[in-house]
Amino acid sequence: MKKYMAYFRAMITSHLEYRGALLIWMLIELISVGASVFIWLGIFSSSDQVGTFHVTDIISYYFFLPIIGAFTSASVTDTLPREIRLGSISAEIVKPYNFSYFRLAHCLGSKITQLSLKIPVYLFIGFFLWAFIQAKLNWAMLPFALIFVCLGFLMHFYFDYGLSLLAFWVEDVWSFGLLKRILLLVFGGLAFPLSLVPKSFAWIFDVLPFKFIYYFPIAILQNNISQKEILFSLPQILFWLMFFYIISRLLWSKGLSKYGAYGQ
């Protein structure tokens, strides 16, 4: 554990070194959330309701979306496939630690620095949108949402990690990254709240694991999910977490036997 903590701390220090870039990140986050809110306020300017959605539902959903995303996002596919292809993971695999835990520490280190920047921005925006957020937020559901955020992040991480390991076999996994993005946009709730999906298709969205990355924790916070549903969903997310963990371990051991130090 000590070695992963050391790496985790090193990642935080490394990110904090580039303050100018971090300031730009903060500004982009502020403009991004602000633009989303302005667009939705514009859509609702003529009427309080669009479809079955009330203005408070949508504004609070799109306010929570980047916050939950900041916690549950994983971006292993951004770097690991390239490292495998170029052979630069050779220096890491000879070291006495578990490679997936090492990447997890890497991911958490970047996340902590990003969160330290993003949280003040969200608080600032939240101050102005408090009327919309308060109308939907149920503080009693916060502990449940936190559990699903942690599990959602781990599940997303192992899904992303497993996808990156395909680089042992496939020359360019960039298109898999895009496919993942589309899956999250559609089935994760990134593009629209999944409660908008017609009932005849809803089961597909329910069975797949992607709803746990964005939609489900937000729906808990918005008090749209009953405690019974939450308890029923817990074994489901644990199953998917184990599934992606086992698959990524298998891919790692099979991929490593195929890997040459020069790359694939």
Q: Kindly state the smallest distance separating residue 129's Cβ from another protein, in Å.
A: 16
Specify the 3-state DSSP secondary structure of 182. helix
Tokens of 9: 């701390």
Choose one: 16-24, 82-90, 124-132, 147-155; the region binding another protein (CB under 8 A): 16-24
φ, ψ at 155 (rounded to 5°): -65, -45
Among 6, 10, 31, 202, binds another protein (CB under 8 A): 31
Q: How far is CA 74 from CA 68, 94, 134, 163, in A?
A: 12, 25, 29, 12
Give the x-and-dash track for 144-183 against another protein (CB under 8 A). Answer: ---------------------------xx-xx--xx--x-
205 part of the interface to another protein, by CB under 8 A: no
Kindly write down the DSSP assignment for every residue of 147-181, as one continuous string.
HHHHHHHHHHHHHHHHHHHGGGT-S-THHHHHHHH
E-assigned strand segments in the chain = 49-50, 53-54
CB 87 within 8 Å of CB 171: no
Among 1, 46, 200, 235, binds another protein (CB under 8 A): 46
d(CA 149, CA 212): 8
Q: Kindly state the smallest distance separating residue 5's Cβ from another protein, in Å.
A: 24
- For another protein, which is the closer residue by CB, 1 or 171? 171
Specify the 3-state DSSP secondary structure of 54. strand
- For another protein, which is the closer residue by CB, 38 or 232? 38
Q: Kindly state the smallest distance separating residue 172's Cβ from another protein, in Å.
A: 5
Q: Kindly state the smallest distance separating residue 7's Cβ from another protein, in Å.
A: 19
Specify the 3-state DSSP secondary structure of 88. coil
Choose one: 27-35, 127-135, 235-243, 254-262; the region binding another protein (CB under 8 A): 27-35
**# chain residues binding another protein, by CB under 8 A:** 35
Using CB under 8 A as the binding rule, the residues of this chain from 184 to 203 that contact another protein are 185-186, 191-192, 196
d(CA 214, CA 203): 17
Among 12, 50, 208, 247, binds another protein (CB under 8 A): 50
d(CA 231, CA 148): 11
Among 1, 21, 94, 123, binds another protein (CB under 8 A): 21
- For another protein, which is the closer residue by CB, 49 or 223? 49
CB 7 within 8 Å of CB 109: yes
Residues at the site binding another protein, with contacts judged by CB under 8 A: 17-18, 20-21, 24-25, 28-29, 31-32, 35-36, 38-39, 42-43, 45-47, 49-52, 171-172, 174-175, 178-179, 182, 185-186, 191-192, 196
